[in-house]
């Protein structure tokens, strides 16, 4: 009986082994994944897939396709085993990436997938590759992702004259920042970035940088603590510096130097002059070696902004923007015709308007405003003017700095025979009479002709300007007889943004 049971057991084991052997899909028995999947352009919007058959049991090949950011479309196409290519119709100039993968089917089981391949048009190339040394051993790469549906990004790297390290880093899709930890000081480091789908790559964007032993500090912040004190903070990106060099310069003066200890990330300036621009720059140093500077500037007592005038019932309403946090009040100054500016009023803290009732027709009135506190005064606001003549009553003329451009605004209460306007700009208040002013309008700005209704005008000065430079503007009216009249000047100092 025991012998019989033993024989039965052997037979059962043999049957199970035979069954398992027949259903095996191991690579030893030939059901292997295809390889060398490639795409080539064969016609207008036509790509050809080719691959290598590595299986002796293949009955057919199953092709999956992924369009952009959509999921994989499984079983997108099927070809028989003796065919190792497939042609697909896709928009080959699009920035959408089409990716493919292939597997083998033997009638009951599937092989693993091939390595994917994808189609990349010229519009999928990553652009604007920027390199920055953000620490002593760190370089940050930033780029713009222009492809939709890439499976990865690939970074190649090359140090100095060495060979390229292909596939140095493979990153997740939609990545646009990578930090490379690199200690190869003073060797040129080259990087190139590709969008990738398996072994398929877009064209690349390339840039280079030379890392230095003393990288620049970063993220300089300049904060007003009071009228006479400023705090500077920055990020220490260096590990071997002897210290930091701070340089300070007040507007119109020369640079002063201050040395502070290593690892410092903050400095307090308690000798600030309010109402003028204070400039700062910071670098790391070791022995006689210095990192690049980072720079910034601040005025702790900023001028009022955007002074405007409105003429209503023989009075002038002035309005401005409060641009300081610590003023005690504002002083309004006025100039009549060619006279000198005189103080006409003082208003309290946070006030942003004043009414001038002392107006006579036939005169030109100029206005400007400044803030004051603790015996200091801010810079002046922009100037504005109003003017009344027999032909034109100009009730508002000013210039403001908006979105990186000086913009001139003017309003007439009435006009008689006014064909149009010209605008002149100079770098001094006497530039027009000295023939040093330029006309900034190409064509005559159309006037209102003859009207008793108010007319508003606006003109953008698109000529280049320099930060902290003061410019003067003149407005010229031209009537139909060719006679002209000049209004101005008004001035604007280009602010720091």
In the predicted model, what is the mean pLDDT of residues 135-141?
92
Contact 343, 352 (CB under 8 A): no
Q: Is residue 288 packed enough to be buried (19+ CB in 10 Å), middle (13-18) or exposed (0-12)?
A: exposed
Q: Of 452, 459, 493, 451, whose CA–CA distance to 476 is shortest?
A: 459
Helix (H) or strand (E) holding 495: none
Whole-number pLDDT of residue 480:
86
Whole-number pLDDT of residue 18:
42
Which residue do the tokens 């590990």 mark? 239
Rounded to 5 degrees, what are φ and ψ at 308? -130, 160
Residue 147 confidence class, pLDDT cut points 50, 70, 90: very high
| Backbone CA torsion sign across 4, 9, 15, 21 | negative
| pTM of the predicted model as reported, rounded to 2 decimal places | 0.57
Rounded to 5 degrees, what are φ and ψ at 10? -65, -40
Digit-coded pLDDT (tens) for 12-50: 444 444 444 333 344 445 689 999 999 999 999 999 999
Query: Looking at 48-52, 151-155, 493-497, which range is the least confident one?
Result: 493-497
Which residue do the tokens 């009249």 mark? 485
Helix (H) or strand (E) holding 10: helix 2-22
Q: Of 212, 141, 135, whose CA–CA distance to 176 is shortest?
A: 141
Q: Is residue 324 packed enough to be buried (19+ CB in 10 Å), middle (13-18) or exposed (0-12)?
A: buried
Per cent of the chain over pLDDT 90 is: 70
Task: Walk me through the domains of the chain, giving residue ranges and CATH numbers.
Answer: 28-119 (2.60.40.10), 123-209 (2.60.40.10), 218-298 (2.60.40.10), 305-493 (2.60.40.10)
CA distance 12 to 29: 24
CA distance 380 to 210: 45
Digit-coded pLDDT (tens) for 406-463: 999 999 988 888 999 999 999 999 999 999 999 999 999 999 998 878 899 999 999 9
Digit-coded pLDDT (tens) for 352-411: 999 998 887 778 899 999 999 998 999 899 998 877 555 677 888 999 998 889 999 999
CA distance 351 to 159: 61
Contact 49, 88 (CB under 8 A): yes
Whole-number pLDDT of residue 188:
94
In the predicted model, what is the mean pLDDT of residues 110-136?
95
Looking at mean pLDDT, say which of 205-209, 224-228, 482-486 comes out highest: 205-209
Residue 164 confidence class, pLDDT cut points 50, 70, 90: very high
Strand 392-402 with 384-388, pairing? antiparallel
Q: Mean pLDDT in the chain?
A: 89
In the predicted model, what is the mean pLDDT of residues 86-103?
97
Whole-number pLDDT of residue 468:
85
CA distance 191 to 141: 9
Contact 263, 190 (CB under 8 A): no
Whole-number pLDDT of residue 40:
96
Contact 330, 371 (CB under 8 A): yes
Contact 63, 77 (CB under 8 A): yes
In the predicted model, what is the mean pLDDT of residues 333-354?
93
């Amino acid at each position: 009986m025991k012998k019989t049971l033993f024989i039965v057991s052997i037979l059962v084991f043999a049957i199970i082994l035979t069954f398992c052997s027949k259903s095996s899909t191991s690579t030893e028995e030939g059901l292997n994944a295809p390889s060398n999947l490639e795409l080539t352009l064969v016609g207008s919007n036509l790509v050809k897939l080719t691959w290598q058959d590595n299986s002796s049991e293949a009955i057919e090949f199953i092709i999956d396709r992924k369009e952009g950011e959509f999921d994989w479309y499984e079983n997108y196409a099927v070809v028989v085993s003796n065919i190792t290519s497939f042609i697909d119709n896709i928009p080959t100039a699009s920035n959408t990436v089409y990716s493919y993968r292939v597997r083998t089917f033997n009638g009951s089981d599937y092989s693993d997938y091939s390595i994917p391949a994808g189609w990349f048009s010229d519009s999928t190339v990553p652009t604007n590759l920027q390199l920055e040394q953000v620490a002593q051993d760190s370089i940050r790469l930033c780029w713009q992702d222009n492809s939709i549906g890439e499976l990865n990004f690939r970074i190649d790297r090359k140090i100095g004259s060495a060979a390229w390290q292909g596939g140095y880093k493979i990153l997740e899709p939609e990545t646009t920042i990578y930090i490379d930890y690199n200690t190869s000081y003073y060797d040129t480091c080259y990087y190139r970035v590709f969008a990738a789908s398996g072994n398929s790559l877009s064209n690349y964007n390339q840039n280079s940088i030379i890392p230095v032993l003393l990288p620049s500090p970063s993220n300089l912040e300049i904060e007003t603590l009071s009228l006479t004190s400023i705090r500077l903070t920055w990020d220490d990106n260096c590990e071997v510096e002897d210290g930091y060099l701070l340089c300070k310069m007040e507007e119109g003066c020369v640079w002063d130097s201050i040395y502070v200890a290593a690892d410092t990330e903050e400095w307090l300036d308690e000798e600030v002059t309010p109402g003028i621009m204070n400039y700062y720059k910071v670098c790391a140093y070791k022995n006689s070696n210095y990192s690049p500077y980072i720079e910034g500037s601040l005025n702790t007592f900023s001028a009022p902004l955007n002074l405007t005038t409105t003429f209503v019932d023989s009075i002038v309403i002035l309005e401005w923007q409060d641009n300081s946090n610590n003023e005690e009040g504002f002083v309004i100054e006025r100039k009549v015709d060619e006279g000198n500016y005189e103080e006409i009023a003082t208003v309290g803290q946070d006030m942003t308007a004043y009414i001038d009732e002392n107006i006579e027709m036939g005169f030109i009135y100029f206005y400007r405003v400044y803030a004051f506190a603790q015996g200091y005064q801010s810079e002046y606001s922009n100037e504005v003017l109003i003017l009344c003549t027999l032909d034109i009553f100009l009730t508002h003329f000013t210039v403001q700095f908006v979105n990186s451009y000086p913009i001139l605004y003017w309003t007439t209460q009435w006009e008689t025979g006014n064909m149009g306007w010209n605008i002149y700009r100079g770098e001094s208040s006497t530039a027009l009479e000295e023939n040093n002013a330029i006309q900034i309008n190409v064509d005559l700005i159309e006037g209102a002709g003859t009207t008793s209704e108010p007319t508003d005008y606006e003109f953008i000065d698109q000529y280049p300007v320099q930060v902290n430079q003061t410019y003067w503007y003149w407005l010229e009216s031209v009537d139909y007889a060719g006679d002209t009249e000049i209004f101005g000047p008004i001035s604007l100092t280009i602010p720091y943004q």
